[in-house]
Each structure stands twice: as structure tokens, then as C-alpha cells.
Amino acid sequence: MSHATLADVVRLLDRRYPPATAESWDRVGLVAGDPDQPVRRVLLAVDPVAAVADEAIAWGADLVVVHHPLLLRGVHSVAATTAKGALLHRLTRAGVALYTAHTNADAAVGGVADELARLLGLRDTRPLVPAPAEALDKHVVFVPAADAERLVDALAAAGAGALGEYRRCAWTATGEGTFTPTEDASPAIGRAGEAARVVEARVEMVAPRRLRAAVVAAMRAAHPYEEPAFDVLELARWDGPTGTGRVGHLAEPLTLHAFAERVAEVLPETVQGIRYAGPADATVRTVAVVGGSGDSLFDAVRACAADVYLTADLRHHPASELREQAEFAARGAAASPPYLVDAAHFASEWPWLAGAERDLRADLAAHGTTVETRVSTLRTDPWTGRVPGVPRSTGSEGHHP
């Protein structure tokens, strides 16, 4: 097998985690590196921090793939006088490229949410907030049967006929077309004033709506007729297989406490540990998960009827309001789902790295290239210590919040 270039690896990563699926505020893709440089070693990590750069350089990595962006907000300088600038300079001097897959990796098949759900043993998973599939057109063209293959080639070259991992997908059927050219026409077949009958193929191909103009132009250029007969039909929108978070069910129900213990078993240990909100003995069957900060998605969690929601960075007021609303909706019941399980941000996203490593190696092998990979085991969670709370009296004579 041959070695890959950075351009090869980026192309495969972009295919797994399409940059166009990232949130509008996000910054993903290649951050630094020469597309022509060879890539023999790839390090995968959650955070682009100095310790990860140290590990990459010491190991001799050619590329670091991270989840969190280094340059999320606009910058006007990457001088080494700043922490981020210094990190970029160190990587560049060592010949180490940097690539980010963030919200595009959150939503992808095999991405952050999928790997988290898989580790927890969730079945029959679906997106918590589905991303709509790309808007499609169906192009229907009538062309002399002898020119049908050439027309299909032209439409495919313009981006039509791509369905998943298949290209140049088309359906054709033959029939008889008839027309009468006027005196001002310049027909490719037939003569002015005389009815012509032609064996024609009906060609149907789908294409992204954003490519409509290019596909129609390609059709006109390849079609032998002066005035081609064609239709462009807008297909209905539907939910795609990707989206934010995942919802699934456990093979066997667990108590809330037991589920929190399972979360602690499969995620990296952090100072925060695992917190939960709800009765320890509450029953958990249906689970919603979002890697990283997820308290903006409480409405979707309620709508999906999950028993418990696992995410990170839960804030006091949103979490409290969700629990209050759940209990109010249950007409004053002592406990009502959705319950909450809160993990550290870093820990909830780290499981994706192993899946990303596996998929990258498989994709490269399928293209006849190979790289050595490593998942960083550095704990880049920023918290380094915790002091347990000290029990205090809450009476009027004691200190209390």
C-alpha cells in the first residue's frame, strides 16, 4: 500500500463529516497544513491544546484530527505571542497539520452521538433533532434513444444521479415521440412542416436542488434537439439519517442510578464524575444522548418521550426548570421523566475518537493507502480537583445559602 497525502485524508474526512452539515457559526475542516504533504501518522484528540501538540510532535504525527475548533471566533493574528498562535507555529514548524470536525461530526452517522449511544448499548437509535435530507430535484428528459447514454453521462458529470455510494443512477424507458417543426426551426431530426416520429428514451435522474442550473445547462448542451422536452420536479423533503443527538432504548430497563453507573463505566474518568437529577430508583428505558453542551435541546427531549437525557454542561436554571416542568406536567407527581444525567463535556465526546480512528483506517485501506493512527488518552478536561461538600446546618443559626 502507498502512503496518503494530506489532501487524500482530508477528502475522506470531509466525506465522513461533510463541512456543509456543520452549524453556521462553526469553523471546521483543515486549519493548517500543506495538502501535498505525506501523512503517515494521525493523532486523534478532543481538544487542540498544548499537551496534545506535545504528544503529536513527540510521536512524530503528520496530522492531528481534533473535535473542538482552535480558531472558532474571528482572529486578526496568529502570531506566536498568543497561546493559539504559538500552538499553530509549533505544529507548523514540526510539519504537523491540524484538522477539525466539530458539529459536523456531532451529527454524522458514526459521529459523536452515534458512538456515545453505541457505548451505552442503545438500540433502534434515531436522531433527536433530525437534519432534513438535502433538497432534491428529479430531472425527466426525453431524448432520441441513441443519445440516451451520452445524455446520462453529461447529467452525471454535472452532479445528477448520485444516491449514497452509487453514481450515475438513472432510469430509462422508450416510447414514441412526435413533433412538427415550424418553418423557423432548425430540427436535428425531421423537416419543417412535416410531422416527425422518433423512438425516444425517457431518462430520469435525481440531483441536489442547488445544482439545478448546472444540470439543466449540461442537459441542454448534450441534447441533440434544438428545444429539448424536459421536466424538473421538486421532490418532497424528508428527515435524513443524521442530526443532533440520538434517541434509543436499552435492552433491559435500569434504575436511574444504575444507568448513571453505566455512563461512568464507559466514559473517561473526570473530576466532575457523573451527576443525575431524579429518584435513584426511577425506571429508565428510553434514552436521549447529546455529546457536549445540550441544555438548549430540552424541548426536543420532552417531545421524544425519553426517560432520561444524558449530556454535558447542564446549568442550574435550565436543569431546574426542566425538572419542575416534568413534575408539573405529571400533576404534582414526586418524580417524572425526563430525568437528567450530566457528564463532563470532554468525557461525553471522547468516545467518538475510537470510531473516527476505525473509520479513517477503513476508508484509507479501501483506497489502497495506509496510515498509523493513535487516539490520545490525555484527559484535556480543564478541571483538576474537587473538594466534597461539607454538611452544614440549614437552620437559622447556621450559615446557609
- Pick out the residues of the known binding site for a divalent metal cation: 67-68, 106, 345, 349
Query: Please, are residues 44 and 353 in contact by the beta-carbon 8 Å criterion?
Result: yes
DSSP-H helix ranges across 120-246: 148-157, 212-222
**For residues 284 and 340, is the Cβ–Cβ distance under 8 A?**
no
Residue positions forming the annotated binding site: 67-68, 106, 345, 349
What contacts 86, CB < 8 A, 6 or more positions away? 80
Cis peptide before 187 (omega within 30 of 0): no
- CB atoms under 10 Å from CB of 269, counted, come to 12
Question: In Å, how far are 85, 113, 194 from 278, measured between CA atoms?
Answer: 44, 23, 82
**Over the Cα atoms of the chain, what is R_g?**
28
Q: Which three cell numbers stand for residue 244?
A: 443532533
Q: Which of 253, 257, 209 is nearest to 232 (CA)?
A: 209
Q: Are 129 and 300 in contact (CB under 8 A)?
A: yes
Name which of 337, 356, 239 is nearest 291 in CA terms.
356
Beta strands in 102-238 (DSSP E): 123-132, 136-144, 171-179, 196-208, 229-234
Report in angstroms the alpha-carbon separations of 116 from 43, 109, 137, 344, 352.
20, 12, 35, 13, 7
Residue 22's Cβ-count burial label (10 Å; 0-12, 13-18, 19+) is buried
